[in-house]
Chains A and B, each alone.
Chain A
Amino acid sequence: MDKVIIADNLSLAYSDDETIINKVKFSIDSGSFVFITGASGSGKSTLLKSLYGALNPQEGSLVVGGVELKGVSNAKLNFLRKHIGIVFQDYKLVKEWTIEKNIMLPLLINGYEKGVTQNQVDSLLKHVRLKHQAGKYPQELSGGEQQRVAMARALSHNPILILADEPTGNLDDYSAELIWNLLVGANEQLKTTVIVVTHHIPETIKVDYKHYHIEFGRINEVN
């Protein structure tokens, strides 16, 4: 099976004197569903940041979607990010854009035609049950609704990889269930690789997944 992520002897740090992830080695198969857990401050979000190139490896090698991220150029990083969908705990929606335009963002960056873009956005708005809110601005929506918008945005351009950082951290049950269903759906139907960083794996989730746990700067496979 193809590997979508290969980390070899990978160390991550924000400063030279404090290493967060220390010389880890792991790989993730294409099309798999992965949970990364760990205590607060263990380095799970740091690891996720490194996977979309927001943090350069301090040491070792990290290859995502065939792109080596150590010392990656801006052009290569942009190319990789065009094929990744990211969901953040704090949503990261553009406040001055309507939710429709927020969902459209990856499609516009990838140069999709206007007609295709509109159809895709309409379909996603239906999936996240926000069709009636299309013209609203993010701050006019609840936290759960904003996260559903962020989820729709992450799925809009059919990415090869979805990275989600505590996607249901502060959500109501209804929105949380919807988010999990969308993530599982993308994985099962579109064969999208999904990596979720979370404190707890939901007991009700119905998907075959791999579980990694981060502790003391090391990453260990749990099952």
Chain B
Amino acid sequence: MKSIKNHLSLVIALVSILFSVQVLLISERSISAYKEKLAHDYSLVVVAQKKLNYSDIMKENSIIATITQLSPDNVIARLHTGMSAKNVALLKLTLPKFYNIKLKYYPSSSEIKILTKKLLRKPFITKVENFSNTHDLTYKLLLLFKKVITIFSVSMLIVTMLLIFKELKIWQFKHNERMNIMGLFGAPLWMRSAILFRLSIVDAIIASFVSFILFTLIASDDWIHEQFDSIGITVKIFDPFSDLMILTALAIVVSIVLSLLIILGHKEEV
């Protein structure tokens, strides 16, 4: 019971830190998955008088993934009111060329503006439709979502860190007493500190294990996957290998830093 109590305060604080970090990771992954989806769905339409040289344009604008010429057949079909085949062929020749440009990733508003300007600089490009209004709204919503999640996670991190620093004083007192007594019998600093490091590393491993269980349970919840499916993205909520490695490493680093703070703040009793 006593031993559980000793571990609990640090374990809870560490789990809280790991939870915030994993939430940040999930939000980052969701946003990049959603950006990828938007990039896939999003395209610009370019109107040109001449046939475009794809390689030149792509070389100048590395953001462009593909350029596809749009067939004018659909437009002509709608206009086709008893025109002869010869006239239709003539019309096809005189009509400007329409192109669909897909991008490698979902761009920011300023990137869209720069790309539009660069394309319009070409003398034979007469119009670029970038659907900037729809794009701006979606992009701003995405940024807002990211900001809200970041603020939430960072606030949680700050509150946890403040709690840890408060706890630190209690631990400092408790460990100082033991370290002083060990020092009186000639224990070198490494031996006096070893117990503290061992305790904090054990706590870090316990916290990582608790987080592993927690996020494995969350990741197996169908409701969450349905929510992501409903917006058309698939997100890995918890990778049992790489995420666990990140969380364990972080927990150990935080614990070691806390232990070092206690050791550095240790004062020999006179």
Contact = CB atoms under 8 A, between A and B. Distances in A.
Nearest to B184: A86
Q: How big is the A interface, by class?
A: 20 to 34
A93 interface: yes
Interface string A93-105: 1111000000001
B181 A74 contact: no
A161 B217 CA distance: 60
Given A54-B268, A55-B270, A109 B6 contact: no
A213 interface: no
Query: Which applies to chain A's interface (DSSP): helix, strand, loop or mixed?
Result: mixed
B119 to A, nearest CB: 71
A78 B186 contact: yes
Given A54-B270, A109-B191, A94 B186 contact: no
Interface in A73-89: 74-75, 77-84, 86
20 contacts: A54-B184, A54-B268, A54-B269, A54-B270, A74-B188, A74-B189, A78-B186, A80-B186, A82-B186, A86-B185, A92-B180, A92-B181, A92-B184, A93-B181, A94-B178, A95-B177, A96-B6, A105-B181, A106-B186, A109-B182
A106 B181 contact: no
A208 B114 CA distance: 99
Interface in B173-230: 174, 177-178, 180-189, 191
A202 B270 CA distance: 28
Interface residues of B, number: 19
Contacts of B183: 78, 81
A109 B185 contact: yes
A135 B268 CA distance: 29
A92 B182 CA distance: 10
A112 interface: no
B181 A79 contact: no
Contacts of A109: 182, 185-187, 191
B2 interface: yes
A191 interface: no
